């Protein structure tokens, strides 16, 4: 016959194994939650970095459209073709930490003012435009993707002569 003192000892034998399993499960859950939080933080950081890169690129594009010599702007080999033509190119706007290139699609066009003389793409005449003034809206549109979403930034510069 068994002694009552030994019965309790055999009954609690598996409880240590259950405690270890519960501790391990809790540790795994905490580790997964920490991993998810770090991935979310990194994804937000990626969006911010790409926004800053696209802002810098489109600002440079605006500066170039403002400062390019007028004859180069309206010439046959202009970077901004006359509307309805559009120049489209894939550009590198920067690099992510780790060296991955960040690319975007750049669309460029220039739109003549309606009062330009016909030689400058408008419908104006000597009466409506006696000085022969030319005006063009120089437009650049940058489109890029972050985490599966597509964004676009555009800038328009008015150039006259």
Q: What tokens does 161 get?
A: 């002569």
The model's confidence at residue 30, banded by pLDDT at 50, 70 and 90, is: very high
The pLDDT assigned to 2 comes to 55
**Predicted confidence (pLDDT) per residue in 50-97, tens digit:** 899 999 999 999 999 999 999 999 998 999 999 999 999 999 999 987
What global pTM score does this model have? 0.71
CA dist 133 → 73, 112, 116 (Å): 15, 11, 7
Whether 3 shows a pLDDT value over 70: the answer reads: no
Question: Radius of gyration of the chain from Cα atoms?
Answer: 33
| Contacts of residue 80, Cβ cutoff 8 Å, sequence gap at least 6 | 65, 73, 87, 108, 109, 110, 138, 139, 140
Does residue 111 sit in helix, strand or coil? strand
Sign of CA dihedral 74, 79, 82, 83: negative
Q: What is the dihedral of CA 94, 96, 100, 101, to 10 degrees?
A: -10
Q: What is the DSSP letter of 143?
A: E
> Where do the domains of the chain lie?
4-160
């Amino acid at each position: 016959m068994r002694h009552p003192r030994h019965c309790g000892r055999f009954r609690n034998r598996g409880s240590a194994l259950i405690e270890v399993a519960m501790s391990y499960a809790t540790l795994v859950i905490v580790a997964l939650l920490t991993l998810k939080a770090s991935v979310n933080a990194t994804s937000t950081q990626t969006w911010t970095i790409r926004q800053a890169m696209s802002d810098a690129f489109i600002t440079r594009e605006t500066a170039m459209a403002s400062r390019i010599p007028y004859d180069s702007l309206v010439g046959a080999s202009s970077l901004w073709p006359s509307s309805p033509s559009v120049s489209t190119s894939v550009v590198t706007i920067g690099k992510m930490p780790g060296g991955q290139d960040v690319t975007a699609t750049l669309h460029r066009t220039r739109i003549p003012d309606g009062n330009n003389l016909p030689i400058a793409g408008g419908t104006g005449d000597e009466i409506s435009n006696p000085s022969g003034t030319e005006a063009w809206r120089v437009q650049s549109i940058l489109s890029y993707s972050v985490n599966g979403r597509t964004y676009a930034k555009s800038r328009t510069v008015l150039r006259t002569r």
